Amino acid sequence: MAQSMVNKSTIWIMAIAGGVVVANNYYNQPLLVEFAHTFGVTEKSAGIVAALTQFGYALGMLLFLPLSDKVERRGMIRTLLLVSMCALIAAALAPSMWWLSVFGFAIGFASVVPQLLTPFAAQLAEPKERGSVVGIVMGGLLTGILLSRTVAGFVGAHLGWRTMYWIAAGLMVVLFFVLGRALPKGPPTFKGSYLSLMKSMGELIRTQPVLRETSLVAALQFAAFSAFWTTLVFHLHNLPQHYGSDVAGMFGLVGVIGATAAPYAGKLSDRRSPRLTVMLSSILFVVAFVVFGSVGYGLLGVAAGVVLLDLGMQSGHVSNMTRNFALKSEAVGRLNTVYNVTRFLGGGIGSVAGSLAWNHWQWLGVCVMGAVLSLLAIAVQLYFGRRHAAAPLSC
């Protein structure tokens, strides 16, 4: 399916839509202190909402993303938008911390539309432009993740955290109609049963070493990324100035600088080596956590680290996905499932680990853990590089 079959504006609509929907999973991070105050619980208990949302997202991807190879994609995307709307409304009405945690899991479970849009866009692109198109859509996703923290922090501080979820539910309704008009139909490429569809992912894991490498690296990077963002609001609140959710959310604006790297990372993957780009991204992760640990006790130090962290996050993610989508064009939904489920399991584990590190060792513990996870990502790449030394670096 060539890109000429779809307007460039459609790719940008997909990027914006992906950013708006993925934001559902991250509104909670600058609001965790607000949750704790509302329900009278500890910061550790409030942090469970962020972790459960990531685990819900991973489970939703495991169950829904393979279906994008088997069912018509546009209709599936619109259905999931309605389910997301219901979960967001339920969160806005949550009567207790326990119920908010349950609805947080449901929000993550339903908000998998961005992970359907990315391979959809890749299939609409010509092979020589696939990295660039993936970069555009992923740029929209990361911008949504980062701005979600800014918007949620502001809304939470001035209008209350429940208002944020009502706004998000309304956006899902808008997207239901916009994507219904903008998206082309996405015909299925797999004709077997759902069970055989799921079993085929095991075969992909067994036969595709590149998929194993990208998935493990992404999981470790996202674990480090999630550990930082889950605990940032606690760190800022713990500083002498006792900054609130609005200041925590403002760092989302700082991180947008990193999101601008997405199209360039995609172009670099098209022209040079996506493996090299991923290695550079892991090095940026390590440097970011060194910055956090050394000068991250002031706003400027945190801001500098955020730019590096988000730059590494986006460039690594785009390059990993570009490598995956080049493996088997008829199985992009299942390749995307394996990669993203592994990645978001890492994110969920990182959120839990970050909360534990904060409770035991405060900010320095979070920084050390993030640096160790980033070094492990480098080690995974070196391990696979040695095993496949004979393979060209372009993969």
List the pLDDT tens digit at each of the 395 positions of the chain: 444 445 778 889 999 999 999 999 989 888 888 898 899 888 778 888 988 998 898 899 888 888 878 888 889 999 999 999 999 999 999 999 999 999 999 999 999 999 888 878 877 767 667 777 877 887 788 788 878 878 888 898 889 999 999 999 999 999 999 999 988 887 777 787 888 888 888 899 999 999 999 999 999 999 999 999 888 888 888 887 778 767 777 777 776 766 666 566 556 655 667 788 899 899 999 999 999 999 988 889 999 999 899 889 888 888 898 888 778 877 777 888 899 889 988 988 898 899 899 988 999 999 999 999 999 999 999 998 776 654 544 44
Identify whether 17 is part of a domain: yes
Identify whether 268 is part of a domain: yes
Q: Yes or no: say if 11 and 18 are a contact pair by the CB < 8 Å rule.
A: no
CA distances 118 to 77, 324, 340, Å, are 12, 12, 11
According to the model, what pLDDT value does residue 22 have? Answer: 93
Specify the CATH number for the domain of residue 290.
Answer: 1.20.1250.20
Identify whether 165 is part of a domain: yes
Residue with tokens 């008009």: 181
Q: How close are the terminal C-alpha atoms of the chain, in Å?
A: 22
Measured CA to CA, the distance from residue 344 to residue 38 in angstroms comes to 28
Identify whether 189 is part of a domain: no
Identify whether 117 is part of a domain: yes
Identify whether 188 is part of a domain: no
Measured CA to CA, the distance from residue 214 to residue 221 in angstroms comes to 10
Measured CA to CA, the distance from residue 293 to residue 305 in angstroms comes to 9
**Residues 6 or more apart from 41 whose CB is under 8 A from it?**
35, 97
Measured CA to CA, the distance from residue 274 to residue 284 in angstroms comes to 15
pTM of the predicted structure, to 2 decimals:
0.74
According to the model, what pLDDT value does residue 101 have? Answer: 94
Measured CA to CA, the distance from residue 26 to residue 31 in angstroms comes to 9
Identify whether 394 is part of a domain: no
Other CB atoms within 10 A of residue 87 CB: 25
The domain containing residue 51 runs over which residues? Answer: 3-182+194-387
Residue with tokens 């259905």: 79
What angle do helix axes 274-295 and 261-271 make, rounded to 10 degrees?
Answer: 140
C-alpha torsion angle, residues 376, 133, 137, 330 (rounded to 10): -80
Buried-state track 107-124, b at ≥16 Cβ within 10 A, e below 16: bbbbbbbbbbbbbbbbbb
Identify whether 392 is part of a domain: no
Measured CA to CA, the distance from residue 236 to residue 56 in angstroms comes to 27
According to the model, what pLDDT value does residue 393 have? Answer: 45
The token pair at 55 is 């685990």
Domain count, the chain: 1
